[in-house]
Structure 1
């Protein structure tokens, strides 16, 4: 394929502005040599170029095969035309220090698609023998490659997926690598906009606290926020109401939009959209590549969800959603230094359910689980948002009254013992409580382990006495 008109004279490592006294015949010979090189390359090449020592174009001319204007890339780095920068052992043809002969490279066209070019390049040397840039040419062999298009596309897609996977793995947490990998994917595909969302899982409990991820995992900053919002709404609420897991291309308000969604087992589906200006510019291969990339992103989101679930299970009771023993002790320990600084007390209530085993015996273990869940809800509703509630194991619960002294806690314990908890398991039942109290004075510096031992001992003494009452452990550990 012949190039279009090429009117720009390529620059040279040696400046055409000769210093005073330089031999004019030498300059004329140099310019004539350049003209001959340009004329000869135009006969066979689809683009010709020269770069400086930094790999920036000092001269670039291309025909219809690439579609770039002659002056458009002057001063730009040659990596702008490569799909995967520094991702393969092959040298960058625009910065090479070795001669390149007949190397196939994917070169980005002006419309952001890629063409397969047979590249020839040779390094340029300055008069003193130092590297001064690269001169070369490329021949479009896309038609030849098209005869084996499936293999060529698969190789390119495999490289892109490998590249974004490597970007994600370079971060300490794979989820943190999603934004830069998404940006890289969009750049390699020539997308002008994009968004990746992970819909919030249903059935969140109080144990989730602030662990949930934002629904919008990442989005490209664009100048059309109204269009961005429209595409986001399409991802969240498909027009037909059906969630399709096959990638599709839609034409929306003058944009070609790829929409894809990925199933995950332990989290809600992840959905992604990429778009270009104009219509008819995406191919199904592009959509399939976006879908493959989304599968990688979804795997990272799924792993993040599993890690959060493991972290929650380490701190929370899965049956009631309350803090477990370890979580309650850890959270109380975290608060003690603040109470000491503010010279405030705190009181721990250990609550045991009276004759809870009778429920399991009469109604079964499922009814017992339901009873524990109802008691957990009752206790959570009975304390302030600043207090803590936890299940220590079996039918034993713990309440931490933040900043409350013995007298405030005694009033709360009295109310628990007088009224009990009204629940329903096959029939209405009122459960009574045995409550042990341990108040902590900020001057003592008592540990949380000592508190729980004292409160537990007081609770057991109440149970031995028949239950349905409270008792205070007055003995405190020394600071």
Structure 2
């Protein structure tokens, strides 16, 4: 009987076949690694416990390839216990393009797009995870900067719209300031317009209120402390916004130049420390620039209004300004049952001054007469230039007897002025007294006093005359 030897090939693979299979597996991993490295910033494999069995990273993370072998993947994740999404190093499902913050070797975090696939054993059991990550930190940062920029633009747009919704931009500052504080989460704030050097506390001419707006935080002592620090900034502090930590609060201080008014200064604060960013400070500074523009416009409007009421040559009230100021005082005089008297003063033969000395000398003469008349009345009285060489004096609370004494003194002494030589000017004075019971208007007073003054001029001047006629209420 012929017999054929049994083969043992079906019982176990030859060692040569084992080597070929291992070579194929290693080649497959090398090909996977090479392909993954073309697009990925790190590649990894983990075991069933989520510990790294393979890890290789580029400069984006900075880890040494062997440093993390055997370490749990959660070591690279921030706040893993509070993260609602699955751990990418322990996942049992495929992950595609999920953003995840991965810890760098220096302790900072980079944003990675994670692609991961769970591995299975020959028996179908979970055997770990294989995946890769792509660094998108620059893109996320750029998008964040863009988002911040858009937010800032929207906030500035909203506060500008709030200010423009008011008839006067100055009136729009308080609601716009409150809106800014709410959008930034500030618990308190203050905006002031610094008092210019040399301005007394009681000098309000052409100057905005120091405290433009105050958003109370409920802590009066702290609010007062911040206000004091804000006033101490002055010109010694730069105009760049700064963040300071004071008594458990983060405080932004910023100042803005205002060309036609004192600089504006602002502070905003939050509870706790380290809550403001430089972006917040820059936004507050941009908002302050908008507020400062409104304050500047308000200062310009006040200056224009003031110039509209004053005579540019003499600095006295002009006709409209004098009428407006006397009109403002009349209700008080009526309540107190007091009289008031208007003196209209004309310079005698003033045209001779212009003819003899020239028009510049004539202007100088008017300025000297204006100074003389201002010095001759009480601080509570008013002096104005009605036009040309005609002046008006309002004696507040004086009856025609008191005014007559003043007019007599003017006519007796005249006004000594100095041009190329000394000259004495004489006055023609018309008086019109107002009784509180009549309710007479200022225009009527000017008409009566002017008529009385012209009658004196026609008679030769250097005298005074009282208009006894009073208009009915």
Q: TM-score, normalised by structure 2?
A: 0.61
Cα distance, 1:229–1:204 mapped onto 2, change above 3 Å = closer
1:159 match: 154
2:385 aligned residue (391, 414, 437): 391
2:36 aligned with 1:42, yes or no?
no
2:310 aligned residue (301, 316, 319): 316
2:175 aligned residue (177, 180, 195): 180
Q: What is the 5 A alignment of 1:248-263?
A: 248-251=242-245, 255-263=249-257
Q: State which drifts further: 243-252 or 432-441.
A: 243-252
Offset of residue 232 of structure 1 = 3.6
1:217 match: 212
Structure 1 regions of 5+ residues with no counterpart? 7-40, 46-140
- Deviation string, structure 1 residues 260-306 (Cα, Å, up to 9, x no partner): 22222322221212234555443322221111101111122122223
Q: Distance in 2 between matches of 1:427 and 1:287?
A: 64
1:273 match: 267
Offset of residue 223 of structure 1 = 5.4
Contact 1:199-1:269 within 8 A present in 2 as well: yes
Q: What is the 5 A alignment of 1:329-344?
A: 329-336=323-330, 344=338
Contact 1:422-1:429 within 8 A present in 2 as well: yes
1:298 aligned residue (271, 292, 312): 292
Q: What is the 5 A alignment of 1:75-474?
A: 145-200=140-195, 212-222=207-217, 225=220, 227-238=222-233, 241-242=235-236, 244-251=238-245, 255-277=249-271, 280-336=274-330, 344-356=338-350, 369=363, 371-422=365-416, 430-441=424-435, 446-474=440-468
Q: Distance in 2 between matches of 1:341 and 1:44?
A: 82
Offset of residue 428 of structure 1 = 6.3
- Deviation string, structure 1 residues 349-400 (Cα, Å, up to 9, x no partner): 0012345456666776666555544543443343344433222122321112
Contact 2:206-2:299 within 8 A present in 1 as well: no
Contact 1:251-1:279 within 8 A present in 2 as well: yes
Q: How many residues align?
A: 347
Contact 2:253-2:266 within 8 A present in 1 as well: yes
Offset of residue 455 of structure 1 = 1.4
Question: RMSD across aligned C-alpha pairs, in angstroms?
Answer: 3.9
Contact 1:145-1:152 within 8 A present in 2 as well: no
Contact 1:458-1:473 within 8 A present in 2 as well: yes
Offset of residue 173 of structure 1 = 2.9
Q: Distance in 2 between matches of 1:398 and 1:384?
A: 14
Contact 2:416-2:424 within 8 A present in 1 as well: yes
Cα distance, 1:401–1:191 mapped onto 2, change above 3 Å = same
Cα distance, 1:230–1:446 mapped onto 2, change above 3 Å = closer
The structure with more radius of gyration: 2
Contact 2:323-2:442 within 8 A present in 1 as well: yes
Contact 1:421-1:430 within 8 A present in 2 as well: yes
Q: TM-score, normalised by structure 1?
A: 0.60
Contact 2:207-2:261 within 8 A present in 1 as well: no
Offset of residue 216 of structure 1 = 1.0
Cα distance, 1:173–1:445 mapped onto 2, change above 3 Å = closer
Structure 2 regions of 5+ residues with no counterpart? 1-76, 88-135
